């Protein structure tokens, strides 16, 4: 495209919004049920991480491919599990621990924990089930000890062994015993070929502390009879929760992360435990997933002003009001959609900005490059989507709007 044509196109974009961009009367769209919006702000107890941040303002933007389909809200991750964990004391393992399996050739990992430093070998194991009692050598296809596992890149505790059951051992109500067991053990059973799968996911990947997030578990391949869970904060704080059976067979819980343990860049762990099947074919499954829990250190005020001056190469700027309870370096990011000749909304450009904001009222500005807008060949009306406010002190997303603003 020639310089003359590029300038003409930029000017036409500017004229397309002339008279519409002073926006003292503009406000963000009303939040929807799937948006993440803090309702009550909370100041940081420790501001050392924020105080160490660079305070130089930064603004960047770049063009997007209008033909590329984008999602306004990330699809949450769903964990699939064919495994479960059990704690076994010395006495329990000596007597025998029930290990229900739904497929042959399960992997059984035995790890001493607590202050236990004992080691179990293949000759210490006995597998019972299907009317037989087999020695460790008869029941297993292979066994890897701590040295072999670490050589393969696994970070395992001292004394850990993994036994792969031989296909001839069978499946169902198996029982593991170790007469030589000393101390406490963590037993992990993994069935890589099983069709019985527990799927676990959260309704969103981020949540504001003190607000509810829905957790959903589905046991496929068997009917679950119970499900419960544990939410664990990075500092070790845990809160148990129960999941309730739904009409569609899924299990759900609405949990509220404790706000007193929020803050910091680490993720919170969601651990769900499901049991089901029947007496002849019991099923155990555990699954883990993670989510980010943000402290409500700031929020968008809803006030917006815009300015478009594509003819002079300044592009489209969007000033968004921010209320802060903690001084920090905050980041704003969003995707600008424009209107194609067929009337469809398509992505035009992405912009980010970051600056230091003191406690109280402030603003962050997104500036969408004029050349990017001209190159997209999209025009008004524009729409601001996937608008995210983040606190760079802990990289937490404190507010997110899927459809934030209409610019006509």
Domains belonging to the chain, first-starting first, are: 3-75+296-407 (2.60.40.3870), 83-190 (2.60.120.1370), 195-294 (2.60.40.1930)
What confidence score (pLDDT) does residue 354 get?
98
Measured distance CA(385)–CA(404) in Å, rounded: 5
Contact (CB, 8 A) for 330 and 363: no
State the pTM of this model: 0.85
Contact (CB, 8 A) for 257 and 171: no
- Strand-pairing partners, residue 289, are 270
Measured distance CA(380)–CA(378) in Å, rounded: 7
> Per residue in 153-186, is it b (16+ CB within 10 Å) or e — as a string?
eeebeebbbbbbbbeebbbebbebbbeebeebbb
Contact (CB, 8 A) for 306 and 318: yes
Q: The tokens of 266 are what?
A: 């680490």
List the beta strands (DSSP E) in 140-196.
Answer: 140-144, 161-165, 172-177, 184-190
CA Rg value for the chain = 28
* CB within 8 Å of 401: residues ≥ 6 apart: 28, 29, 31, 35, 37, 300, 386, 387, 388
Instruction: Per residue of the chain (408 residues), give pLDDT as tens.
Output: 444 344 444 444 443 444 344 444 689 999 999 999 999 999 888 888 899 999 999 999 999 999 998 988 888 899 999 999 999 999 999 999 999 999 999 999 999 988 887 889 999 999 999 899 999 999 999 999 999 999 999 999 889 999 999 999 999 999 999 999 999 999 999 999 999 999 999 999 999 999 999 999 999 999 999 999 999 999 999 999 999 999 999 999 999 999 999 988 899 999 999 999 988 889 999 999 999 999 999 999 999 999 886 545 568 999 999 999 999 999 999 999 999 999 999 999 999 999 999 999 999 999 999 988 989 999 999 999 999 999 999 999 999 999 999 998
List the beta strands (DSSP E) in 12-165.
Answer: 58-63, 78-81, 83-88, 97-101, 107-113, 126-129, 132-135, 140-144, 161-165
What confidence score (pLDDT) does residue 177 get?
97
């Amino acid at each position: 495209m020639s310089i003359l044509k590029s300038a003409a196109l930029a000017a036409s974009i500017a004229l397309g919004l002339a008279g519409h961009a002073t926006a003292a009367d503009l406000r963000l769209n009303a939040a929807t049920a799937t948006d993440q919006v803090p309702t009550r702000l909370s100041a940081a107890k420790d501001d050392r991480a924020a105080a160490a941040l660079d305070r130089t303002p930064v603004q960047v933007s770049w063009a997007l491919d209008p033909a590329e389909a984008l999602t306004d809200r990330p699809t949450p991750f769903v964990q699939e599990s064919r495994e479960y964990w059990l704690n076994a004391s010395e006495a329990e393992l000596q007597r025998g621990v029930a290990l229900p399996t739904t497929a042959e050739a399960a992997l059984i990992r035995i790890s001493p924990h607590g202050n236990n430093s004992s080691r179990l070998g293949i000759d210490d194991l006995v597998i019972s089930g299907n009317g037989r009692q087999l020695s460790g050598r008869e029941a297993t296809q292979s066994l890897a000890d701590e040295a072999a596992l670490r050589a393969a890149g696994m970070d395992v505790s001292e004394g850990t062994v993994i036994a792969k059951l031989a296909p001839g051992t069978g499946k169902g109500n198996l029982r593991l015993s170790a007469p030589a067991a000393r101390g406490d053990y963590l037993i992990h059973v993994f069935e890589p070929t099983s069709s019985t799968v527990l799927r676990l996911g959260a309704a969103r990947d981020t949540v504001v502390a003190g607000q509810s997030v829905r957790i959903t578990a589905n046991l496929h391949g068997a009917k679950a009879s119970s499900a419960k869970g544990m939410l664990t904060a990075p500092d070790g704080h845990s809160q148990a929760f129960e999941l309730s059976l739904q009409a569609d067979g899924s299990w759900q819980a609405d949990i509220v992360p404790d706000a007193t343990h929020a803050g910091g860049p680490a993720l919170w762990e969601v651990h769900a435990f499901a049991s089901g099947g029947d007496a002849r074919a019991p099923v155990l499954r555990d699954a883990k997933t993670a989510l980010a829990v943000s402290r409500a250190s700031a929020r968008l005020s809803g006030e917006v002003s815009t300015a478009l001056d594509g003819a002079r190469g300044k592009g489209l700027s969007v000033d968004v009001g921010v209320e802060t309870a903690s001084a920090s370096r905050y980041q704003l990011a969003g995707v600008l959609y424009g209107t194609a000749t067929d009337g469809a909304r398509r992505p035009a450009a992405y912009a980010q900005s970051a600056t230091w904001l003191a406690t109280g009222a402030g603003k962050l500005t997104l500036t969408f490059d004029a050349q990017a807008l001209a190159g997209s060949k999209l025009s008004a009306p524009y729409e601001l989507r996937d608008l995210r406010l983040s606190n760079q002190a802990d990289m937490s997303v404190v507010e997110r709007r899927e459809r934030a603003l209409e610019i006509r």
